[in-house]
Structure 1
Amino acid sequence: MQDYFVDLHIHLGRTASGKPVKITASNQLTLEAVLEEARFKKGLDVVGVIDCQVPEVLISLRNSIATGELEELVDGGVRMGDITLILGAEIEIYDENCQGLIHALCYIKTVEKMVEFSNWLSKRMKNVTLSTQRVYANAVDIQHEVHRLDGLFIPAHVFTPFKSLYGKGVKKSLSEVFDPELIDAIELGLSADTSMAGRLSELAGYAFLSNSDAHSVGKIAREYQKVRMMEPSFEELRLALKEVDGRKVVANYGLSPQLGKYYTTVCEKCFTPLLQGKDICTNCDYTKFVKGVSDRIEELADNEDPLRHRPPYIHQVPLDFIPGIGPKTLSKLRGVFGTEMGILHEANYDELVEVLGEKVASLIVAARSGKLAFKAGGGGRFGKVSDE
């Protein structure tokens, strides 16, 4: 048994030929760039690319397997060197039960089964070549199709105000939309952590995932998990989510929720935080607000103490959030310590001081111990680290 670093929510901006996939993602975010960044710079062992339903991506994977550049594993997943690619598709769901849009992550074991899923989606989706498109089918029917293909179904960033399971406040329970038995895990999103999500008793039966939702190369592994498995494959990941025979999520690594874009409730117009007991912005008198994840969870919570023991959720500040670390400094750090996992987890204070100086090195060490101060994010704006 071995522990592996895993990030299961990474987008593609373009195909190899330059065609758009995720419109809001970086043009540099190709499948090749994802694997290179994850393998050599981030230090990940497993990546989930959630735009693999795109036909050109599937053709590229087929060709690379045929030439031996990539290897398809017997237990699922595609191997390049020492990194495993898990094939995924992020979809958008709307049906009569949803009262809004919900994003979900569908992971498929093999390239050929993903081809089958892509064909199924193309009959229920206006443009299968683009990321996160609306599927015109009942949510439970989609779950059944994913499981018919021996896949995994995971609701995405479940607390964010827009396009999520618990969304804007209409949905009170996952059973209003999904078959609970056909959910394999829950993705928390950047503005929530285990202690917050654990207050919903209906989530007690699911593993929690913390993924980056990367729209650019640099954002890969801003959130991830350490997963204990026999090997980095699709089937081992499935067993780890069910905690079978010692396999499990060992730890989640993610932003302090205050750094997320939707942690606190803010004015829709000027982003001023809503004061308790007020229904109007104290700065501009506007009356519309974007509800924060922290307030939404307060509405939904039905217990104070989690109903099951959870692995530790380690609040980690991505290096590019830390004042004093820009692209040149980050490149210098990688030159000394190798990958970002090495910088975040292994480099000691004295080693960091030699490269960064005492002030910035102290911020990294403080981030590890949860001692940094933040200005909370909200309304689509990330929080910030205070360097005072």
Structure 2
Amino acid sequence: MQIGIDQLAFYTPKTYLDLVDLAHARGEEPDKYKIGIGQSEQAVIPVTQDAVTLAANAAVRVVTDANRDKIAMVLFGTESGIDNSKSAAIYLKRLLKLPDAIRAVEIKQACYGATAGVQFAHDFVRLHPDQQVLVIGADIARYGLNTPGEVTQGGGAVAMTISANPQLFNLDDETAFRSEDIMDFWRPLYRTEALVDGRFSENVYIDFFKAVWRDYQAQSKRSIGDFTAFAFHLPFTKMGLKALRAILPEASESQQKELMANFEASRQYNRQVGNLYTGSLYLSLRSLFDNAALKPGQRLGLFSYGSGAEGEFFSGTVSDEFDATESQKWFSTYFKSRQRLDMTQYERLFTQQLPNHDVLLDLSDDDARFVLTGIQHDQRQYLDRNNK
């Protein structure tokens, strides 16, 4: 029995910042961002969206009347949680009208949380092949205005259903993981922006990748020649390129060209959206499926990394039934409909933070189905515009 990703969808608001504009405003050469960082644009998240609404707007594309009653768990990976006690998955479960006989849990380990959910879901479905698990990766990446990390901001959500006999991606059983207590990136409870040691974090990321790649090879007896493409966690896309280059000498010259071409396909969406934290790897995987000429049965390698730190390398094969047509159309429509912000608009949206008191938010600039309307009695208020 094959188990893996049956559906994979994405959502982020339509407002974005062109990084050429950011470079000019910050006195930098645009190529420092476009080539040196590997980013072109980044999503800008309005105050009317949070991890819950981002997740809901993505999840409605994979949760339908056809599978709603099959979903037995919601595993919500995020480092942008909205409550220190109550799981974001509980809010999402209500917005999606999922049944009450369900587990709904939030998972936190920096950008690794969604991958933990995928692996937990894989084991669950093996025991319950008639059921599915909804896995979410939803975050808002914030480092602050005029900071070194400003160019790697962004946000959005991925939503995946894990099932038996999946339509998209069959997960292999072999997986290699590693964890260490490392202070390369963290966000204390009293901060809205993250703290990061950028150069150190890059080195840890690559060291973890090489370590789990070696462990995976020893476990699976596979080599780089068994892979058509790799997808990476991409806080910025140059990071994944550096990791891939670390193992490219293991491949033949012809395969190196194929792997590099497929890496370019895998980072196309991430270049235009920015950092998703927990969802980053899976947006890269979606981009790979949509923009590379993949064939059923080809093996893909995935590297997940969460600062602090946790890393995992796992793999799978393209499903026989995979069809990227619908996703390609969605992204094409989405990118054509985006609203480019100037620097004044960007800085205004960035500084609009939810207060710690009751408030009613202006929704006129947010056309999403699911929105955050405000706070009442210290409770976040959500609206599904389809249920007015």
Query: Structure 2 length normalisation: TM-score?
Result: 0.32
The structure richer in strand per residue is: 2
Query: Structure 1 length normalisation: TM-score?
Result: 0.32
